[in-house]
Structures are given as C-alpha cells and as structure tokens.
Amino acid sequence: MMAILQVTLMPKINISGNVPNLILLVSIILIFMREEKLALLAAGLGGFFLDFYSPFRFGFYTLFILFLTIMLYLLMERVFTQINRFVLIISIFSIVLIFDFVNYYLAEHRFSTLIFIDGIYSLIFAILIYFILRKIIKEPENILI
Amino acid sequence: MRRFRFLIIILALTLVGFFLYPRGYLNPLKNIFWQVAKPFGVVFNVTFDRPVRFVKSFFSFRSVLKQNSNLIKENLELQSKLAELSEAKHENEILKKELGYLSTGPLYNLLPTTIIGSAPSGYLKTIVLDKGKNNGLVGGEALVSQGYLVGIISNIRESNADAILITDYKSLVPAVLQDSRGTGMLRGGLGGLIVEDIPLNTPIKNGEEVTTSGLGGQIKPGIPIGKVSEIIAKQGEIFQMVRVNSPIDFSRLEVLFILKK
C-alpha cells in the first residue's frame, strides 16, 4: 500500500519536484521505536514492491533502503544508545540526504542543493509518520519527548 | 537467522528479479502492479489536483499576474498571425489542386490518455499512462499536451506504458529551429530544455519556434516544443546551444494525447 501511495499520491504533493520516500521514513522511524524486525520488513517488502513501480533496475530500492535501515540500526546499537530529538532529526535528515544524493545523481548525473529541500520536507513527513505509528505500535520505546 | 528468514526470502526474490529484469520477464508483473495502482491514481488525480493547485496558486500569485499580461499580448499577436496563415493555407490548397496533389486527411492518429502514476523518485521525470500494447502502442510514440510535445513513450506493457518527459535528463529529441532551420538535439534536465549541437554559423533568433525535426524516424516532424528564450554560445566551442521555453506546466499535466504511429 505504501508503494502505491508513493507512486500515485506523493508526486501530487511534491515541492519543487521533491517527493519524500514513505517507505524509507517508516523504516527509519521504526528503528528509532526499537521495532527492528518491523523496520527491516517495511524496508525489504516496501522496497521490493517499489521496485515494480520504478524505472530503475529491479532491486535498487530493495537493496538501498535495506542497506540504509541496517546502517541506522547498527549506528543506534553501537553509537547512539540513548536517543533524543536532536539525534532523531540529524539522523533522518542525513539518511534522506544520502538517499536523495544517489537518486538525484542517477537521474541527472550531477549534484544539486534541491536535496536539502527534500531533507526538510521529509522531516515534516517523518514527524507525521511517527505520531501515526505511535498510535499503532503500543509498546514502550526509548525516544525522550 | 530464523528471525530474519523473511529478509532472506525477500533478498533471494530481489536477486532473481535483478537478473530477470533486463530481459523484460518482469513486464507482465509490472503490468499487474500498475493495474492495481490505477484506481488509486485516478482517484488522487480527481481529489488532490485541484486543492494542491489552489494552495500552490497563493505562492505563485505574482507570476500568474505577469503571465496573464504576457498571454494577453501573445494572444493578440497570434490572432494577427492566424489571419495571415489562413490566407497562406487557402493559397496552399489552391496550389496543391493545380499541381494535382492528393488531399491530405488528418495528419495524426490521436489517442487520449491519463496519468496513473509517476516514478517513486521526484527527480525522475517518468510518468505511467493508462494505455499499452492492447491500445496499439509499440514504443517511441510522441506524447503531447495542448499541441506541444511533452514526452516519449518508452516501456510498453499490456495495459499501461511508461513515458519519459522531455524535461528528464535522459530524454533526447531531434529538434529544429523553425526560422533559422538549425537542427540539434533537445535535452531536458534541471537546467531546463536545451537544444544542443547547433552549428555555430546558424543565425538563431530569440523567440523563434522550436519543433521536432523527425530525424531518426522515431517522432513525427513538426510537433511544437516551445520557443527559443536564450542563445548560449561559449567561446572556443564549435556548436552553440539554445534554451527553450515550453508553455506547458509539466507539474500540472492533465489532458494528454499519444500520437500513434
């Protein structure tokens, strides 16, 4: 369903061509909520379905989103054992930037500052997704509010 | 390992898909996926387009006013051009009759189409249309909106097809400048529409019409693309480039037609 929304609804609410990736954001938020298994499932399955809708070579979104999710998980385990709002914001922003940098380079073969706009736009969506997931997943988590 | 069994299955399927993809074996599955997404695309077209446009209009009010006054001026110029062209057309018909030419029927076979989705990344200017092989598409057809070229059909599936917009960096369309007759390749990208590889000795005029040249035989000649807005000639280079301004708003594509071969 997220993959369908990504290709039908999200392009309609773009800002200067920037479209946040729902699957990536959901996976990131789930990692912060200590739902690693759900995060990997969202990343793997979401990326897998997104590949069917993508003009890129099949497997690009599955592998890339999984890679970013696993990297974030390892960072949370080894480096940021206590998560606060600042870590959350910087992590989301950085991962979205990396994701967009690769996407943009594959599309245009160069770098652009447009990806920073997407970083901020994705942050806004991440906050919305966080509150939605908090209602759905009722187990305690380590984010300090 | 058992905890992540699902992940191993997904990775294995991804690997299979990775190798099957170049041979086109995934096209039937892609067709089904887009068929499932189509109702959502159609519903979101109807429900979200107007409110989003309404909100965006508040941010572009000043440019809308400027655009309005430019369009009024252009409309008056076009009306006088239309009168001249009607005379030319009439004369053309008479001359054709005199020379015994067969009368030409409609030039293009137009197929109306709707956008059902876009590429997952906003940086890829690829859209998905609700027409495919079942509607007689073969690939390489031109996609037009309001008479202007907006894209080229690329991957065709049974009931839907991908179209690369001319604003995509990977899009290359043979183009010709109507007055100076300079030919080049139209490329898209973040820098806008640029016609490259125009010979340096071509006397280009600002504001002249740019159309498809038909070179290569893929796209029919004479499809309007836009007007020259800037001439880019760098010292030491053997070719010059022009920036092309299309009157089409590519973020608000609505009524589209495919020019069938």
Q: Which of A102, A103, A97, A92 is nearest to A69 (CA)?
A: A92
Interface check for A100 against chain B (CB to CB < 8 A): the answer is: yes
Question: Which residues, 6 or more positions from B123, have their beta carbon under 8 angstroms from its beta carbon?
Answer: A17, A100, A103, A104, A107, A108, A114
Contact between A119 and A100 under an 8 Å Cβ cutoff? The reply is yes
Q: Among partner residues B29, B41, B169, which is closest to A52 by beta-carbon distance?
A: B29
| pLDDT beyond 90 at A17 | no
- pTM here? 0.79
Tens digit of each residue's pLDDT (9 = 90 or more) over B109-141? 889 999 999 888 877 889 999 999 999 999 999
CB contact under 8 A, B122 and A18: yes
Q: Which positions in chain B touch A21 (Cβ < 8 Å)? A: 120-121
Starting at the edge strand found earlier in the chain, the sheet holding B115-118 runs B109-113, B256-260, B142-145, B148-156, B161-165, B126-129, B115-118
Contact between A62 and B10 under an 8 Å Cβ cutoff? The reply is yes
Coil vs helix vs strand at A16: coil
Tell which phi-psi region holds residue B147, choosing left (phi > 0), alpha (psi between -120 and 50) or beta.
Answer: left
CB contact under 8 A, B6 and A44: yes
Tens digit of each residue's pLDDT (9 = 90 or more) over B104-115? 545 568 899 999
Q: Is B193 exposed, middle or buried (0-12, 13-18, 19+ CB in 10 A)?
A: buried
- Residue A13, amino acid: I
Ranges of residues in chain B with a pLDDT under 50 are: 103, 105
Question: Which 25-54 residues of chain A touch chain B by CB within 8 A?
Answer: 37, 40-41, 44-45, 48-54
Q: What pLDDT sits at residue B254?
A: 80
Q: What pLDDT sits at residue A110?
A: 74
Element (H, E) at B112: strand B109-113
Q: Mind telling me how many Å the CA of B40 is from chain A's nearest CA?
A: 7
Q: What pLDDT sits at residue B229?
A: 92
CB contact under 8 A, B44 and A107: no
Q: Compute CA A121 distance to the chain's CA centroid, rounded to the nearest angstrom.
A: 12
Interface mutation vs chain A, best among B123, B172, B187, most A CBs within 10 Å: B123
Q: Among partner residues A7, A57, A66, which is closest to B18 by beta-carbon distance?
A: A57
Q: Mind telling me how many Å the CA of A145 is from chain B's nearest CA?
A: 30
Determine the Cα–Cα distance for residues B130 and B112; give it in Å rounded to an integer.
10
Interface mutation vs chain B, best among A2, A8, A21, A66, most B CBs within 10 Å: A8
More confident residue, B58 or A106: A106
Question: Which residues, 6 or more positions from B239, have their beta carbon under 8 angstroms from its beta carbon?
Answer: B184, B196, B197, B198, B199, B200
Determine the average pLDDT of the residues in A73-101: 84
Contact between B44 and A12 under an 8 Å Cβ cutoff? The reply is yes
Q: Which of B201, B163, B207 is nearest to B182 (CA)?
A: B201
